[in-house]
Structure 1
């Protein structure tokens, strides 16, 4: 639009004077042609041969309007009344005047008295060819405008298309597709931006890979103390040896899952049955609740409650919520676990009768002497599963803390045998 506006103004600046020039040239051409014919007729009038003058005037009137006013008052050629210009020419002066019907050329011829030759140029002759010329100029202007807009559009596309590809690549990178790279094309500035984005994407990929390896290495180091704990557990008398060994097995499975998750480049889509996972973790923590003299109440729906979250991540979130109860309340404090279905949402409620939240302020920050990551793990799981996490005072008005984890349910995929 900017190019079209600029070209329109430029074309108007050139074509408008050119159009006026064309009209002026057409008028001058018609007047000059009539003046030459009038001068030719005036030469004949000067000879005094009336027959030759009458014949010439008749021939010229086929292409114009010529009248000869002789000194004796005789009129030859096209009949026309004497105008003011003709009467003025009687004084011996020739002139050209504009009239309502066109241009009037009068020539005074000296002889036996003053004869006057009058040529009338009608308006149509003055404008002959002007309309056609103006149409040609308008067509030329429209053609140039169209060509200019097309060229500007192609030039804009050559600039905008690489920028669009860089923008699309940045959105894909933001969505987690770290292998995407922008095409280095277009103007120098766009190529530089694309190269910088590609370098940034590569650097992010390297840093993430390094972080995964560090987490995996750190997790792998836990296997040595776990092995030592297993050996120590085997020396314990029954039934403590079996219970401790079972807990060590669970911890080892968690570490193994952490290593696998850390080494994954992209999380694979997976799902689980919320009811089955929660029931398993509640059974695991019930033994510890019994050892610490805690009354544990559980009301769990039978399910199935399918959700689009990995089973190990859900188990880690449930362990974090239940672990907070044991970490932030003294032994003997009772708690409850509830799992219900409400429409397309599964709700897990963990409520205790302790002293309330220890003042969590953010990830890795806790006022209760912990790492502050437990609720963050559950919160990130809720966000990935299309749900939410709320923590606060109990909704029934009793003292203590209540944590509510909502997860969106999905329809199970049916397969035919």
Structure 2
């Protein structure tokens, strides 16, 4: 923007200077030529009375002195044909003057001026003055140089002023962009400078108002989520007390474990609501440990529904750029979809392996009916579902993968079913 403004100002100023200085330069040239011609005319007219009254010797001395002192060539043609002064031939203009007509005209190398002088007994003498081009253009070169310097100085001044103005405009636009990026990163306390020039100040004020409104909305959302989550704790506490009051056994322990899982989920919701609106932290979790734990949790339900479960988790730690709660929610969404959308007895496989370049690749494949043709892309959009569900499960998986710097792919093997490939970015990865 700043460079374009400079180019625009330079082009406009140049056009204005050319339109102003070019006629002025031509006027200076014409004025210099007229001044030289006028001076030569005055010198020649001074000889008019001498030609008619002075003797030839005195006239010759006068013409010689004038010719030596003047920058013009002065020649007097007497009626008897004698020539005094500068050595030159009879030009057509001189012959015209001998017939009684004074005139001036352009000639090779300058300008020729002739005067017809009427002598005694009707004889006509001619005074010829020749003004060379050097005298006609005397001072013109220096004047043109001054005009050119003036034009360059005016151009530089206009560029300096335009650069100052452009710098201020660009600084305002750059500040707006920087504040927008900060708001996009979650720094909701960022505010733009409303003293920016013109419309930029209006945009800055509007951006500040938008940031304030977003802050208010997020605060209301956090408070609402926190209130709802806190209300859920009361029935959870009641259920825990009821579960603990049941006779001891595997079923009682499983109910208590399920309640613990729900309690952790509620706690995660509250913590995420409190973190929302602030700059995100780059967390890290062990994908191998999370997948093993969540698969162990769902394996009980798989056994109850007669589903064959195959688990293949790479040994060792597989750190990914996610909080443990987000990672657990992602795995739960994948496995929960299998139980919700496939019939009892459908086998499924869970595989976790290192991802090239860091992170981990989680593959969940089932032998169910799969997705209808053409719905693989739409199924990843929030709220889209082809089976009457809320459509949030795969959206949670997609957002979790993108948060870590990875992605999600849906594949339909030739043998049937659905395969979900989730690439989770490593600790050093950023959002794609």
1:319 — aligned with what?
332
Counterpart CA distance in 2 for 1:366 and 1:78 is 110
From 354, 358, 370, give the equivalent of 2:368: 354
106 and 148 in structure 1: CA distance in 2 versus 1, 3 angstrom threshold:
same
Q: Is the partner of 2:195 in helix, strand or coil? A: coil
Q: Give the superposition deviation at 1:153.
A: 2.9
1:247 to 2:258 alignment = yes
Q: Give the superposition deviation at 1:223.
A: 0.9
| TM-score normalised by structure 1 residue count | 0.90
From 341, 364, 385, give the equivalent of 2:383: 364
From 395, 398, 402, give the equivalent of 2:419: 402
Per-residue CA deviations over 1:192-248 (Å, capped at 9, x if unaligned) read 111011101110121122112212221222111111111111122221222221222
Q: Give the superposition deviation at 1:333.
A: 3.7
From 142, 147, 151, give the equivalent of 2:157: 147
Q: Is the partner of 1:162 in helix, strand or coil? A: helix
Q: Is the partner of 2:47 in helix, strand or coil? A: helix
From 363, 371, 374, give the equivalent of 2:393: 374
Q: Give the superposition deviation at 1:399.
A: 4.4
1:23 to 2:40 alignment = no
Counterpart CA distance in 2 for 1:130 and 1:4 is 27
Per-residue CA deviations over 1:122-141 (Å, capped at 9, x if unaligned) read 22211111121122112212
Q: Is the partner of 1:196 in helix, strand or coil? A: helix
305 and 108 in structure 1: CA distance in 2 versus 1, 3 angstrom threshold:
same
Q: Is the 8 A contact 1:382 1:388 kept in 2?
A: yes
Counterpart CA distance in 2 for 1:387 and 1:203 is 31
1:336 to 2:355 alignment = no
**Matches of residues 134-283 of structure 1 in structure 2 within 5 Å?**
134-239=144-249, 240-265=251-276, 266=278, 267-283=280-296
Q: Give the superposition deviation at 1:26.
A: 1.4
Deviating more after overlay: 19-28 vs 82-91 = 82-91
Q: Is the 8 A contact 2:330 2:397 kept in 1?
A: yes
1:78 to 2:86 alignment = yes
21 and 287 in structure 1: CA distance in 2 versus 1, 3 angstrom threshold:
same
| TM-score normalised by structure 2 residue count | 0.87
Per-residue CA deviations over 1:259-280 (Å, capped at 9, x if unaligned) read 1111113332210111111111
Q: Give the superposition deviation at 1:369.
A: 4.6
243 and 60 in structure 1: CA distance in 2 versus 1, 3 angstrom threshold:
same
- Unpaired runs of at least 5, structure 1: 413-417
CA-atom RMSD, angstroms? 2.4
Q: Give the superposition deviation at 1:165.
A: 1.9
Counterpart CA distance in 1 for 2:407 and 2:426 is 13
406 and 80 in structure 1: CA distance in 2 versus 1, 3 angstrom threshold:
closer
**Matches of residues 12-51 of structure 1 in structure 2 within 5 Å?**
12-51=18-57
Counterpart CA distance in 1 for 2:368 and 2:24 is 94
**Matches of residues 297-308 of structure 1 in structure 2 within 5 Å?**
297-308=310-321
From 1, 8, 12, give the equivalent of 2:14: 8
2:4 — aligned with what?
none
Q: Give the superposition deviation at 1:99.
A: 1.5
Per-residue CA deviations over 1:78-126 (Å, capped at 9, x if unaligned) read 2322323223322333222321132222222222332222222122211
Per-residue CA deviations over 1:357-413 (Å, capped at 9, x if unaligned) read 5988542354445433222211111111222223454x3x4443333222123479x
Q: Is the 8 A contact 1:357 1:392 kept in 2?
A: no
Aligned length: 410
Q: Is the 8 A contact 2:284 2:427 kept in 1?
A: no
Deviating more after overlay: 134-143 vs 334-343 = 334-343
Q: Give the superposition deviation at 1:166.
A: 1.7
Q: Is the 8 A contact 1:306 1:411 kept in 2?
A: no
Q: Is the 8 A contact 2:321 2:428 kept in 1?
A: no
Per-residue CA deviations over 1:151-192 (Å, capped at 9, x if unaligned) read 233233333332332233223323333222111123342211
Any runs of at least 4 consecutive aligned residues in structure 1 with deviations exceeding 4 A, and if so which? Answer: 357-362
306 and 92 in structure 1: CA distance in 2 versus 1, 3 angstrom threshold:
same
Q: Is the 8 A contact 2:282 2:427 kept in 1?
A: no
1:415 — aligned with what?
none
